[in-house]
Amino acid sequence: MERIMTTDLPEFDRQVRLHRYITYGRERGHEERWLEYKSTMNWKDNATKGKIGKAIAAMSNIENGGVIAVGVNPQTYEPDGMASEDAASFDQDTMSEWLNDKLEPEAQFHVNHLWFEGKQFVVIEVQEFTDVPLICRRPLPGQLKEGAIYIRGKGKYESAQIATQSDMRDLIRLATDKALAKEIARLRKLGLIPLVEERPWVEHERMFEEEREGL
Amino acid sequence: MNYAGLLQEIKSRAYWRVEIRSTEYDSSRLPNRAAMTALLRAVVVSFRGWPYPYFEPNESRYNGKWLEGHINWEAYKEYWRLYESSQWLHYFAAHGVWLPKDKLFSGRSPKPPDHAGYIHVRDTLYTVTEVFRFAIGLAERGVLDPVAHLSISLCNTRDCMLYEDFERLFFYNYVSESDQPISQEWNVPASELRAVADEKALEMATKILSVFNWTPDEGQVRILADDQRKLLERKLFTS
């Protein structure tokens, strides 16, 4: 399933995609590295803050980010829904404020509330980090560890502190690629890398159209 | 042979137009007939008895720039071109608009009202899925690098009625009032196409169906996803 922030999509597409996140596990019988399910929980509880904070940090640190769907049983993948007060406790501003205190740099995420089969759900879409991986800067006793880098592992789909050489290598590569892309863009801007090899996309479009000869 | 007449016939009723290509034009991707033929032989898909696309090497024609082929047999009307840039262009008739109503709804009573044509829900899903699977074949042979562009349109659907042979037949409300082609376009890195194709095909088919005033709910989407899986596993005719 292609992962893009649904905030960038037309409303119809957005709704379809969010609902697909809810039913994805039931159809396939598993989570994905980029998709984590949580049973109903309330943001006011510290345990919830810890679990969601860890999951958001972990999803931020993988390529293309990920999605956390709350209200879906992580064992059976059944969309059980959330208690109303639990769903209402997930508020974008409140969560951002708390998470920005715990994680650095800032996590980029979007909280969506939706109904499905008469039940409420919260779907949190998390963007991949922008420049450097997210790190936990303030602990939450028993939940988040200061200085820890969380990641959604490749071998075992869980949000946990980075523990394997392979996951660390991926994370470094991701950060390096971003830095490199930024540097190339800077050099291009300075005119140190010529743009001549690039043909504008409209030019390609025009050539394909000409090839079709009006068909 | 001039296929203009066939194309005109296809366009006279509801029809599909499919365009698949890279986003980067390169006229040297398929330099000759042999390369085109070998590619098509490798990527034609067949999940339900009729292939996508209909390709018979001996019946196709090459003019130095593109290979073209056609079929005009009962409700099967197709015309396609594969260009040297690997651009794929395909026009084909929607099957339900060429079959006589009595044959299409044989054994059903009452028959649906008269309309310009009848578009089958699952045939739509299967068609889009087959197009995507064909595109995967192209992508995996490197001719859509770096980014694949897919454009699928269902055209000339005004007054066509959506139908389905579930227990409940759709009869009265699901009729297209649109004069515009129902078009879906998508760009995706060629290397990622396989991973997302089936999901995207389902999404595209669902959007196309919504133009007939039918938006499937989650339960219906699940049924469609299950039917799509059966198609791909070639289990359509088993329970």
Arithmetic mean of pLDDT, B105-120:
84
Note the ipTM here.
Answer: 0.90
- A26 in Cβ contact with A79 (< 8 Å): yes
How many angstroms separate the CA atoms of B11 and B83, rounded? 21
Cα distances from A213 to residues A29, A202, A204, B66, B85, in angstroms, run 48, 17, 15, 12, 14
Instruction: Give the Cα separation of A40 and A187 in Å (integer).
Output: 49
Q: Which residue in chain B is spatially nearest to A208 when comparing CA positions?
A: B25
The backbone torsions φ and ψ at residue B84, rounded to the nearest 5 degrees and listed phi first, read -65, -25
State yes or no: cis peptide before B53, omega within 30 of 0.
yes
| CB contacts, 8 Å: B199 with chain A | 1-2, 20
Q: Which residue has the tokens 């801007």?
A: A189
Q: What would the two tokens of residue B221 be?
A: 């989407």
Whether residue B223 contacts residue B206, with contact meaning beta carbons closer than 8 Å, is answered with no
Inter-chain residue contact B225 with A16, CB threshold 8 Å: no
Nearest chain A Cα to B18, which residue?
A: A215
- Of residues A169 and A42, more confidence is placed in A42
User: Chain B contact for A215, CB < 8 A?
Assistant: yes
Q: Which residue has the tokens 């939940």?
A: A143
Q: Could you tell me which chain B residue has the CA closest to the CA of A14?
A: B203
- Given this model, what pLDDT does residue A196 score? 47
Q: Which residues are paired to B71 by β-bridges?
A: B78
pLDDT of A199: 60
- Element spanning A201, H or E: helix A201-212
pLDDT for A61-92, tens place per residue?
Answer: 998 899 999 999 999 999 999 999 999 999 99
What residue in B sits closest to A198 (Cα-Cα)?
B24
B227: tokens are 């039917």
CB contact under 8 A, B89 and A2: no
Query: Could you say which of A13, A203, A211 has the minimum Cβ distance to residue B87?
Result: A211
B199/A2 Cβ within 8 A:
yes
| pLDDT reported for residue A30 | 87
Contact A155, A162 (CB under 8 A): no
Q: For residue A1, give how far its alpha carbon lies from the nearest alpha carbon of chain B (Å).
A: 5
Is the model more confident about B187 or about A14? B187
Establish if A11 touches chain B: CB-CB under 8 angstroms: no
Any chain B CB within 8 A of the CB of A21? no
What angle is formed at CA A68 by the lines to CA A62 and CA A65, rounded to 5 degrees? 20
Q: Is pLDDT at B169 greater than 70 in this prediction?
A: no
Q: Are B24 and A204 in contact (CB under 8 A)?
A: yes
Residues of B with CB under 8 A from a CB of A: 7, 21, 23-25, 27, 65-66, 81, 83-85, 87, 89, 188, 192, 196, 199-200, 203, 206-207, 210, 218, 221-222, 225
Q: Which residues of B touch A116 (CB under 8 A)?
A: 218
Q: Is residue B74 left, alpha or beta, with left meaning phi > 0 and alpha meaning psi from -120 to 50?
A: left
A209 in contact with B, Cβ within 8 Å: no
Which of B59-63, B77-81, B199-203, B233-237 shows the lowest mean pLDDT across its residues? B233-237
Output phi, psi for B134, to 5 deg.
-60, -45
DSSP string, B91-137: EEE-GGGTS-HHHHTTT-SSPPPP-SEEEEHHHHHHHHHHHHHHHHH
Q: For testing the chain A interface, which of B2, B6, B23, B24 should be mutated: the one with the most A CBs within 10 Å?
A: B24
Average pLDDT along chain A: 88
The C-alpha atoms of residue B46 and residue A175 are separated, in whole angstroms, by 43
pLDDT score of A156 more than 80: no
CA B53 to chain centre: 9
Do B95 and B123 contact (CB within 8 A), yes or no? yes
pLDDT greater than 50 at residue B124:
yes
**Chain A residues 108-127 with CB within 8 Å of chain B:** 116-117
Mean pLDDT of B128-143: 96
| From A19, A20, A208, residue closest to B25, measured CB to CB | A208
The residue among B90 and A187 whose pLDDT is bigger is: B90
Least Cα distance to B43 among B179, B170, B143, B177 occurs for B143
pTM strictly above 0.80: no
Count CB pairs under 8 A between chains A and B.
Answer: 50
